[in-house]
A and B are shown apart, each in its own frame.
With several copies, the nearest count.
Chain A
Amino acid sequence: MELILFGIIKEWVTETDIDLQENNIQTVKDLKLYLLNKYPQLNSLSSYMIAVNQTYAEDNMVLSTDAEVAILPPVSGG
C-alpha cells in the first residue's frame, strides 16, 4: 500500500510503501497502531488523520492494497 506523507510527519516517517498483509493491517485503526508503535514521535502531535483516496477516513475503514493512503498532521492552511 502506498503511503503519502506531509509536513512534520515527513520528517519522522520514512517508509512510503507498507505491506498490509505482512504487518497484519486491515483497518485504518490497525495502520495507526502500526505507525504509533514504529514512530512514537507521532504521539507528540496535537492530532493526526488518515485520508484514504483523498477523503478523511474513519478508524474502522478497511484498507485495500491499491488505496491511496495519506497521513495528515494537523492542518494549518489559510
Chain B
Amino acid sequence: MKQLIDIQVKTTHLQIDECYDFVTDPSCGGLALFVGTVRNKNKGESITKLTFEAYTAMALKEMKKIAETCINEKGANKISLHHRIGDVLISEKAVIIAVSSTHRAAAFEACQYAIDTLKETVPIWKKEFLVDGSYWVNATP
C-alpha cells in the first residue's frame, strides 16, 4: 500500500518542500499547509531562542493518531507532520503540517484539526529563552 502518512520529529531544519512532495498527488486538487515559526516576542517579552524537548516515542504515536483521524474522518488523502526538537532560533520552523485532499475544504479542516490537536496532545515541551531568564511555556497557570 502507498504510504499516506509521514511523521517526523527531528533536530535538523524542517523543509516545506519535503512535506509538500510527500502529500502532493495527481488525484488531489487542494493542499493546505501550516507552518509554525518561532516568534521574536511573546506577551511583549523579547525571545532569543526556544528549546523543544520531546518524549519522542510517544510523540510519534500521538502524531500518528492525529494523522489517522485526518485521513479516516476529515477527508485528507495524505498528511505530513514534521516537528523540530532541540534549539530553534527566531523565524525558524518549529512545525510543518501538510495535508492534501480532493477538495480544499477538507484539506483546510484536517490541517487545522491537526495543529490544534498536536498542541493539546503531543508530548513536546517548549522552553522560551528571554534576555533575562528562561521558562517552560504553559507549565503554570
* Residues of chain A having any CB pair with chain B under 8 Å: 4, 6-8, 44-46, 51, 54-56, 70, 72-78
CB within 8 Å of A: which B81-108 residues: 83, 94-95
CB <8 Å contact, B58 and A76: no
Within 8 Å by CB of B125, from A44, A51, A56, A76, lies A76
CB <8 Å contact, A78 and B125: no
CB <8 Å contact, A77 and B58: no
Residues of B within 8 Å of A75, CB to CB, are 119-125, 138
What are the 4 closest A-B residue pairs judged by CB atoms, nearest first? A77-B124, A7-B125, A54-B58, A76-B137
CB <8 Å contact, B118 and A77: yes
Residues of B within 8 Å of A8, CB to CB, are 125, 136, 139
Residue on B nearest A68 in the bound complex, by CB: B57
Chain B binding surface SS class: mixed
Given contacts A7-B127, A54-B57, contact A77 B139 (CB under 8 A): no
Given contacts A6-B53, A51-B58, A78-B118, contact A44 B140 (CB under 8 A): yes
CB <8 Å contact, B139 and A45: yes
Residue on B nearest A53 in the bound complex, by CB: B58
CB <8 Å contact, B139 and A73: yes
CB <8 Å contact, A70 and B55: yes
